[in-house]
Amino acid sequence: MRSFLLAVGLLAGFSIVHGQNYVNVPLKSNITQVNPMIGLVFWDDNYFTPYTAYSLEYLYLPVNNLVIGRVNGTLQYNWTYLENRLNNIANRGHQAIFRPYYEYPGDPTAVPAFLKNISGYKGQVYSGEEFMDWRSADLRILHLDMHTQFALRYDSDPRVFCVETGFGFWSEYHISGGPNLQLGYNFPSGEFQLEAITLITSLFKNTPVLYSIDIADIYDNWCPVFQNISNLPFGSFDDSSFANDTQDWNDGNKQRLGWWTRYQQQPLGGEIAYEDNVQQHALDVNGPEGVPLPTYVANYHYTFLIANDQTTYQYNGPLTQIQRIQQVGQTFGYKFTITSFQTNGTHTQVTVQNTGVAPAYKNMFLQVSGVQSSVSLKYLQPGSSLTVTVQVNTSSPTLKIVSPFITSKQTIQYEANL
């Protein structure tokens, strides 16, 4: 009777692989959300439904909301502000990108009061705005200690996707439009930049750290030690993405950052440029300037772009704007397609291909009928496939993709049509 059933199975088109009697198992799955850690990003005070249309929320962290004093040489932190926001983001099934900053044009400098109070500390005042005083050893210690605390608290925290950091306006690694650059005074010295970036990139093992593309600028030379730090493990963000008029300058920085191979190990992101035409037509079918956003995303291997105002526009196609936000969001970053799913009764073989434009940057694993493979999908490059065998005693396996770096409210969806 058994051999009769097997014969029927063969006639029905099951395949036998390597003489180990592997048979295909039907598997159908569609991606119906923007998966974790990719897509268009919205500020955490601008959330909207359905939450499946995006997976990342962004927040600025003024340093003086976090570092509130120093007692006997030990810096005092108040984590409540950041924790509340991370919890709210996680409750919406999303993950955070946060960026500490000292200088935000138009707002008071986010210098902690205790620091300003130390005798000798005196930031340069320019156009009514006070800049950080990087002559201060206390400030430099604060910068290093704050990032050490971030790594201790958030390196493995599934509420946080990545940290953007830097110096200057919006931590974008420049003070363009501000006073003349004085390294070691209104901007950190090259020596301190080297010390800070070397330390910070060594502290984070799981959570990516990203610096602005301005770090590679050769005209204003914000980072005189760029040659010495360019190979350190950091991602990068371009906050004037997708605008033709800045593309040449941005591309020069990206070239020096090794952008077109950097994405293989480090996430690349940024913000859709704040130019009226670009903002208003960012999601148009052919884009604002002749290139559709998904094409641009693929060319630059983007994992995310901040697109905070996109809910206020209407693109020129048949979907609602929110549906379009989801559709475009799904074109960022990694995307897993299962191209083969087979069992021989004691083992299941799965072939997964990355059909996205960038790898995943955190550990993700295939899980067959509850049994997790130990082979990570992290860094599986676009176009590449991986075949994983999981020992599990079933001839009707089920498949999930799991990760220690997503919250219980999140799932990682895949495509399959087998």
Ligand X SMILES: *[C@@H]1O[C@H](CO)[C@@H](O)[C@H](O)[C@H]1NC(C)=O
Site for ligand X, rule CB under 6 A? 20-21, 28-30, 68, 71-72, 78, 80-81, 113-114, 117, 194, 225, 227-228, 244, 289-291, 344-347, 389, 393
Gap between the Cα atoms of 324 and 101, Å rounded:
32
What stretch of H or E contains 163?
A: strand 160-164
Q: Determine contact, residues 131/122, Cβ cutoff 8 Å.
A: no
Residue 137 gets the label, from left (phi > 0), alpha (psi -120 to 50) or beta, of alpha
Nearest residue (CB) to ligand X, 124 versus 230: 230
CA dihedral 116, 120, 121, 122 (to 10 degrees): 110
What is the smallest separation between the CB atom of 395 and ligand X, expressed in angstroms? 9
Gap between the Cα atoms of 230 and 163, Å rounded:
18
What is the smallest separation between the CB atom of 127 and ligand X, expressed in angstroms? 25
Nearest residue (CB) to ligand X, 179 versus 258: 258
What is the smallest separation between the CB atom of 177 and ligand X, expressed in angstroms? 25
Task: Give me the residue label for tokens 């509130």.
Answer: 68
Query: Prior bond to 188 cis, omega within 30?
Result: no
What is the smallest separation between the CB atom of 396 and ligand X, expressed in angstroms? 11
Q: Which two tokens stand for residue 78?
A: 């108040």
Nearest residue (CB) to ligand X, 131 versus 242: 242
Give the other-Cβ count within 10 Å of 63's Cβ. Answer: 21
What is the smallest separation between the CB atom of 290 and ligand X, expressed in angstroms? 4
Q: Determine contact, residues 337/384, Cβ cutoff 8 Å.
A: no
| Strand-pair category, 39-43 with 56-62 | parallel
Nearest residue (CB) to ligand X, 323 versus 389: 389
What is the smallest separation between the CB atom of 30 and ligand X, expressed in angstroms? 4
Nearest residue (CB) to ligand X, 378 versus 400: 400
Q: Which residues contact 157 (CB under 8 A, 6 or more apart)?
A: 86, 207
Nearest residue (CB) to ligand X, 48 versus 221: 221
What is the smallest separation between the CB atom of 405 and ligand X, expressed in angstroms? 26
Q: What are the φ/ψ torsions at residue 317 (nearest 5 degrees)?
A: -135, -175
Nearest residue (CB) to ligand X, 206 versus 279: 279
